[in-house]
Amino acid sequence: GYMVAAVGMGEPLALNGAAAHAFSHILYKGLLMMAMGSVIFMTGKRKMTELGGLHKSMPITFFCYIIGALSIAGFPLFSGFVSKSMIISAAGESHQSMVMMLLTVVSCGTFLYTGLKLPYFVFFGKDSHIAAADPPSNMRWGMGFAAALCFLIGIFPNLLYRALPFPTDYHPYTMAHVFSALQMLFLTALSFFFLKKLFKPRPFISIDLDWFYRKGAGIVLFIAKRPLALYEGLVTEAYKTVLIAPAKQIAEWSWKFDAYVVDGLVNATGLLTILESRVSEIFDVRVVDGVVNGLSTLLDAGSKKCRKWQTGLIQNYILAMVAGITMLAIFFVF
């Protein structure tokens, strides 16, 4: 959250704070997870109601966890302070008082749970009489190295500031920064010890974020099964009645029209075309060709008959001419 707020402000000091906090955040979050992982590994328990009094049997784990808790809370002399105070100061310099106040309150809330409630009821509180000890040396060395870095960066912040993207002359250990942080953390601690009975863990299944999407999924399923299903059924029936049924009827009518009317006309036209071609063929062969062939036959026969009249005798030709002239004279006279 701090890093997102810093990037949102966008000023060089805020971006430096985001980069510094990214590094310190990795350190103290890794340290806290290693410490609580050691508790789970060595005890086999993971609920605060099943733990308590482990500061005697797991002192190194307890010490490393406290360093991580003070770092995440932004306590002076630890890494979280030198990065969180830079982001809070950037909000103040940009006159975003609401953001500045919210970042401070969030830091107090983190200290209340991570730095007070969890270590108190795990390492102090009612003794659970669990036979436990600090984890193996490899785990202790890992926690010790991270704890040392958290403390080293808190004491010498310039080791971290020199690697930031923008040049900075920011000084976290001013009277205003230190006393404002100590005041808020002290009031948070005082409130916890006065109201610690309210924070006492109880053996019940706590609601986690999964509750929201599980219940939300139930609401979604109810809506899907009841109103949406009913709506879907009504829409489907209306769709079938208003669109599908008429469309099917129109398609059936179209098929019948195509099969009986269009295809019938096409087939009838084809049959008529075939019949016309046959009739034309018969007329051409029998009538046209018959007339032509008959005339040629008659002309051939006539020419053969007429050829007999050509005897080659002059007296025959004179006789024919006299007969012709006589017939013409008779025709014109009578």
Answer for the pair 51, 121: CB distance below 8 angstroms, yes or no. Answer: yes
Predicted local distance difference test score (pLDDT) of residue 32? 92
* DSSP-assigned letters across all residues of 31-73: HHHHHHHHHHHHH----GGG---TTTT-HHHHHHHHHHHHHHH
Q: Specify whether 41 is located in the same domain as 165.
A: yes
Q: Is residue 70 part of a domain?
A: yes
Q: Is residue 334 part of a domain?
A: no
Q: Specify whether 117 is located in the same domain as 182.
A: yes
Predicted local distance difference test score (pLDDT) of residue 306? 66
pTM for the model stands at 0.60
Q: Specify whether 193 is located in the same domain as 121.
A: yes
Predicted local distance difference test score (pLDDT) of residue 308? 64
Range of the domain at 185: 2-205
Length of the chain: 334
Q: Is residue 103 part of a domain?
A: yes
Q: Specify whether 139 is located in the same domain as 211.
A: no
Q: Specify whether 50 is located in the same domain as 93.
A: yes
Query: What are the distances in angstroms from CA 276 to CA 116, 263, 280, 281, 290?
Result: 110, 20, 6, 8, 19
Q: Specify whether 156 is located in the same domain as 212.
A: no
Q: Specify whether 212 is located in the same domain as 192.
A: no
Q: Is residue 292 part of a domain?
A: no
Q: Specify whether 144 is located in the same domain as 50.
A: yes
Q: Specify whether 192 is located in the same domain as 236.
A: no
The ranges of the chain with pLDDT < 50 are: none
- For the chain, give me the number of helices (H) and strands (E)? 16, 0
Distance CA 143, CA 260 (A): 91
